[in-house]
Structure 1
Amino acid sequence: MANLNIEQKKVKSLFQESKYNFLIPDYQRPYAWGEVECKTLWDDLFSFSFPNDDCDQFVDDEEYFLGPIVTFKNKNQMEVIDGQQRLTTLMLLLRAFYNKLGSMKDPRSQRMKEDIEKCIWRANEFGEFETSALKINSQVATDEDKEEFISILKDGQGIGKKSRYAKNFNFFVEKIDIFFE
């Protein structure tokens, strides 16, 4: 009989503490989130983090429930049983933030950028993060879509790409640009 562990984790902990790569196995449904779901996620996170639309009143000590992410340890990977849509979308959102933070030089932005690196990529033996060592892989995406998803996470470019991954990534890039204005 398999052991069942239930843990409440912050997104940062979920991604950074994992010793394993996340794998979206071929029995999962394809990535289906579109702009409606991404907008809902963005609006929920924004209104929770900045009550009263005041960017100076960032809420850091409260917890926001994103929903369950259920995984199964299979060799050196964590197969995603439930939460694949949220997990994938969070990766796209983090990559979009990483792009924006890359041009900022203040210490807080650099710390945030370093935290995001730990969420998306694995470090090599020297502690350097390699964009080719992603912490997520999908067996359910078509070859072309999978290539776009991986490419977006590696190089942070969604322009000219046509998959749902690219559309959602570009949506977040636009929202983040507006937010930082």
Structure 2
Amino acid sequence: MFNIYSRRQILKVGGSLIVSATATGSFPLIRTLAAGRPKTVLRFKFTLKGGGKGSFDFNTAAQSTVTLNTFGKEYSYFGAVSHFCLSGRDRDLRNENASWKVVPGLKAPFLGLPPYTPGVLSGVNYPNGCSTGTVNACSITVAVLYLGNLEQLPVVSTNPNSYQLIGIDIIDPNGQLNRIDAKYSKVIALRHKVDK
């Protein structure tokens, strides 16, 4: 999920390990429509260690695609991220669209975080649609621990407290992976409405 060049890679974020995986043989399982759900858009704002900052909006009512991989089901929400902005670290993005993914099989302790740390791996995949089961060509990913009720997936939580942003990975033009920890992050709910 969080690496462009490998199907399985161990990543270090915030002094801990995050495992990225996209398994050969992954296949679409089901596509879930979210039309008619109450719509909550969550806004994420963050600053990075060493400089740089970013923000994005996540539409929690976006439709999802479910695939199977090495770690079980993963839920992709293509186009669910909007207004993705990132400055510093040789990147300057303004109001871009991106995808969101949740991988319930990658629990926080498995990722190298301290024992009893809650949450599973989720986050932003940029550009939009860059991670599609067996293909992973993301140039930027934002790692977020998802703390919501996994039994309700593919419906994700609308509670800002269900998300903890850890950091970002950036692939530079030479293919080098640059991992940057988050220094500060905040999540707020922007609005609620019902799609027609």
Q: In which range does the TM-score fall when normalised by the shorter chain? A: under 0.3
Q: Which has the higher helix share?
A: 1
Higher relative contact order (CA 8 A, sep 6+): 1
- Which structure features the higher share of strand residues? 2
What TM-score results when the alignment is normalised by the length of structure 2? 0.22
Q: Which structure's CA Rg is the greater one?
A: 1
